[in-house]
Amino acid sequence: MYVRRHKVRKGAKSYVYLRLVEAYRDQEGKVRHRPVATLGREDQLKTSGQLDQLAASFARLDPPAAGTRRVAGPLLVVAHYLERLGLVKLVDSLVPVRGRAYLTHGEVAAVLAASRLCSPSPLYDIAGWASSAAVTELLGVPGMLLNDDRLGRALDALAPVAAQVRGELLLAAVREFPAVADASRLHLDLTAVRFAGAHENSALVAKGWAADRTIKRQVKTLQATVPAGVSLYFRAHKGSASELPAFTDAIETLAAALAPGLVVVADSGLGYLENLCAADAKNVQFVAPLRADTGWAGRFDADVGPLGGLAALEALDHVSHRERRLPAARRTVWKGLLRPFPVTRTTDDGDQVHHDLRAAYIWSSEQAASVAAARERALAKAEDALARVRNGLGGRYYKTRKQVDARVAKILTGQAARLITVRTGTRAGKPWIRWQRDTGAIAAASRLDGLYALATNLPDHPDGTPLTALEVLTTYKDQWIVEQRHRDLKQTLKVRPIFLHNDDRIEALIAVIGIALLIFGLIEADLRAALGDGVPLPGILPEGRAARPTARAVLAAFTGLHLTYTPGGIVLDRLTPVQRRILALLDIPLPWPEKHHEPVKP
């Protein structure tokens, strides 16, 4: 049985119809052909997408010809994790398709997540990737069905239940994967994903401040990661939203979903007193740096000043990971002291609520040197600008003292403000200017260089051993884990560019990328747990060196792995030793046999 093109002429126009034809033998044993059904006009079938659906339905039944090759690559690993998480079943249970469908929303979500991990592509190129990759063989989805319209409809269906899907996957990851079974501590951080285009009517994409202190159109995303590096929480927020509602929503959601005793570690976005008091009221423990406007410096002077100020801080035995190989003389010096930091807040009803917080005052020699160097650069820059003003006195731009004073006011901003004393005047109708550094003001500004405060409500140990500043610092220094996942989001998973203008589709796609980020972390955490703490994996790097495996290196290790259709079935290319070791450590069985080495002909 096959499909035949049948041309029909109607007046001056001709049309092509597709017919399903079967072959048979007549009474004399000769081969004859007869139409079984007319499928429709070829142009109409193509326009409506029914032709692709028909071809896909046949593709599910009829395997490609022998010799056909598909890229298995990292999809071999990713498909295993998609199955363990139960993503397809979860999405299909929440948004079942109506009527007859060749593809479910869960299958589309799985393909989108797999594409982001294996070969990050814009939506219009998903079908092209799926056609060359082993998507049909490993995920059961024909690539020709993944057109733009079908992907868009799946995102529309996923958007209303995206939060529920992410919540269920969070619980599934904690329940099914030992590497993240302990989710008692989460590291939170907020980042911005930049967008191009107008997005004038968007309630999600908006202009806002980003970490590089520029204002651009963006969507803010907040991520929560366990110490093992697995991102359990990933949410999109309006690009112009402040940090407060993002952190508040995250803490409330995580506290309700996870077991009591949750510890949240965050950056200064959580370091407002109202945020910390709100977390303490919900019995959520935290470690976060206090912002300057909380008045912690004044508290330090009042509380620690009588004890000797910075001299009262105790030496901390802390060595960062990047300095472990340096000699002791070149390592950063750390000092700290844990002191009470009580806070009293007034509720909306006028009641006074007391919170017994503590602050770990931390001093770092590296940060002290960095702050001093930054101040020196600011002073040098200001003095250079003042010198240019002096050289131009009486010229086109500085004819009067008023013009000079206006320029000086613009120069003495930021760190240089109040650290340089400037005098101006007029002599014989020409303005003059003199300046000098205010050594007293500079000494006062540098008094607390390298010092910052980490707020916490962590209790003492159950055995009565007191909490120490070193423990608070060590907990906070793991914040690099979530920052690394932000880099993976933007570099490895390539969250940009996003060619979407519908808020629902943007939010749904970001949710899918969050699922990919979850799998990304699970792969890394599982492999490291199987190897053992700090144990490197031989040959994981491209040049064959051993290293502690990352998810990026694991996925790259499977680049170039193909499957081939043979008369006897599908066979995989011969695995490399690294690929074989990774699959064994992750307990991933091979779905097909490997290709045997062909003997070399003499």
Stronger pLDDT, 285 or 203, i.e. the higher one:
285
Closest by alpha carbon to 389, among 399, 379, 378, 380?
399
Calculate the CA dihedral of residues 313, 317, 323, 327 and round it to 10 degrees.
100
6: Cβ contacts below 8 Å, ≥ 6 apart: 16, 17, 18, 19, 35, 38
Q: What is the pLDDT of residue 101?
A: 64
The sign of the dihedral angle between the CA atoms of 548, 551, 552, 557 is positive
Instruction: Reply yes or no on whether the pLDDT at 600 is more than 60.
Output: no
Rg value, the chain, Cα:
32
Count CA atoms closer than 13 A to 401's CA, side-chain side: 13
pTM of the model: 0.84
In the predicted model, what is the mean pLDDT of residues 171-200?
Answer: 86
Q: What is the pLDDT of residue 115?
A: 93
Mean pLDDT, the chain, rounded, equals 89
Q: What is the pLDDT of residue 49?
A: 61
Report phi then psi at 35, rounded to 5: -70, 135
Q: What is the pLDDT of residue 135?
A: 93
The 3-state DSSP class for residue 281 equals: helix
The sign of the dihedral angle between the CA atoms of 54, 59, 62, 65 is positive
Instruction: Reply yes or no on whether the pLDDT at 87 is more than 80.
Output: yes
Q: Are 300 and 453 in contact, with CB atoms under 8 Å apart?
A: yes
For the chain, what is the total number of helices (H) and then of strands (E)?
20, 18
Q: Are 393 and 368 in contact, with CB atoms under 8 Å apart?
A: no
Q: What is the pLDDT of residue 208?
A: 86
Q: pLDDT tens digits for 422-476? A: 999 999 889 999 999 999 999 999 999 999 999 999 999 999 999 999 999 999 9
> How far, in Å, CA of 403 to CA of 382, rounded?
17
40-49, 342-351, 399-408, 581-590 — which is least confidently predicted? Answer: 40-49
Q: pLDDT tens digits for 350-370? A: 788 899 999 999 999 999 999
Q: Are 257 and 171 in contact, with CB atoms under 8 Å apart?
A: yes
The most confident of 197-201, 236-240, 438-442, by mean pLDDT: 438-442
Q: pLDDT tens digits for 303-321? A: 999 999 999 999 999 998 8
Tokens of 343: 């806070």
pLDDT band at 598 (very low <50, low <70, confident <90, very high): low
Q: What is the pLDDT of residue 503?
A: 87
Q: What is the pLDDT of residue 117?
A: 93
Calculate the CA dihedral of residues 491, 497, 500, 506 and round it to 10 degrees.
20
Instruction: Reply yes or no on whether the pLDDT at 253 is more than 80.
Output: yes
Q: pLDDT tens digits for 44-79? A: 876 766 766 666 666 555 678 888 999 999 999 999
pLDDT band at 268 (very low <50, low <70, confident <90, very high): confident
Tokens of 191: 């980042």
Q: What is the pLDDT of residue 146?
A: 86
